[in-house]
Amino acid sequence: MVDRPKKPTSLNPSARSSAPQPTVDISDDRVTATLPTGESVSILLYGATVISWKTASGAENLWVSEKAALDGSKPVRGGIPIVFPVFGPPPKEGPTSKLPQHGFARSTRWEFLGKSSSEGEAQGQGSGDESVKLDFGLYGAGLDESVKSKWPYEFGLVYSVTLGREGLMTVLNVRNEGDEGWEFQMLLHTYLRIDDISKTTISGLGSATYIDKVLDATTHTQSTPTLSITSEVDRVYTGLKQDTTSVLADGKPRLDVVRDNLEDTVVWNPWREKANAMGDFAPKDGYKQMVCVEVGSVAGWQRLEPGETFEGGMMMRSYV
């Protein structure tokens, strides 16, 4: 279990003030939480996919395709899909070889495990709760038999989504609940909403090594301090030492993505041709208003022996 100093501390419910509290609405297909100050987050039970994260100003920070399927018929194009236990197309051989691209977590219905709230230390006198944490679970026993036959391991996933005034934290806890070891990859496939890709740069990746999937998965080193996107980009930055990757608009901070116990970051934008080729990508020029900055462990494989646990995630901050 990784120690996260930014993780909110749960309050004793009996000690709470009478100030406004976060609201949590639960429906058949999603859970939505709103803070008294106006920040909100919405998560589909299908895939435990975060499909909206708004700041107090009402600004949306996540991009979701206008043609995204939100009915559980296919993985959501946009938001924050969870990639597990394999990233990208599966290898031709090995335990994950029969799984679909990006695994099964994003295309399986999760269970809502409950909520908890925390109060900011500096705002403790009558200010109400500063954050709310929503937990979702997925377990080997709950998988469809067709999926179990392709990846027959016992596991437990707990995905925690914490909405706070300072940002959004998403953390995936992976546990081996069987009697044999297994390997996995995981990624939070985050689609960030931006105003104009031509005025957007990404910092925090300078001098880093990356695998360029556009260039036949060859390895390169980024020579510039910031990345500008002017064509299709599909890069896996590996072994990053700097925790924060920042998205800038006209040189000013727009969004920060801070990795937690994860060393890899994927940057993706399909650009014109690939966007046109995807039936669920809309509008077709939507690539101008989005960029994926995805934290994960995907350059290699994590191995868990029976009873072992891995945990990793991210903290995102918005400047609008």
Question: Looking at the domain assignment, is residue 281 inside a domain?
Answer: yes
Question: Looking at the domain assignment, is residue 10 inside a domain?
Answer: no
Question: Looking at the domain assignment, is residue 217 inside a domain?
Answer: yes
Question: Looking at the domain assignment, is residue 224 inside a domain?
Answer: yes
Across the range 276-305, mean pLDDT stands at: 97
Coil, strand or helix: which one is 105? helix
Across the range 280-287, mean pLDDT stands at: 98
- Report d(CA 304, CA 6) in Å as an integer: 26
What is the average pLDDT value for the chain, to the nearest integer?
Answer: 92
Binding residues for substrate: 77, 101, 106
**Domain of 137, in residue numbers:** 21-318
- 94 — alpha (psi -120 to 50), left (phi > 0) or beta? left
- Residue 13 exposed, middle or buried by CB count within 10 Å (0-12, 13-18, 19+): exposed
Taken in order 146, 95, 89, 81, the sign of the CA dihedral is: positive
Q: Do 201 and 227 contact (CB within 8 A), yes or no?
A: yes
Question: Looking at the domain assignment, is residue 94 inside a domain?
Answer: yes
Across the range 237-241, mean pLDDT stands at: 92
Give the residue numbers marked as catalytic: 189, 294
- The band of 219, judged by pLDDT with boundaries at 50, 70 and 90, is very high
Quick one: how far is CA 270 from the chain centroid? 18
- 79 — alpha (psi -120 to 50), left (phi > 0) or beta? left
- The band of 118, judged by pLDDT with boundaries at 50, 70 and 90, is confident
Binding residues: 77, 101, 106
Question: Looking at the domain assignment, is residue 7 inside a domain?
Answer: no
- Report d(CA 136, CA 259) in Å as an integer: 20
Q: What CATH code is carried by the domain that includes residue 59?
A: 2.70.98.10
Question: Looking at the domain assignment, is residue 4 inside a domain?
Answer: no
Report which DSSP code applies to 91. Answer: P
pLDDT one-digit tens code per residue, 54-95:
999 999 999 999 999 999 999 999 999 999 999 999 999 999
Domains in the chain, number: 1
- Report d(CA 130, CA 165) in Å as an integer: 6
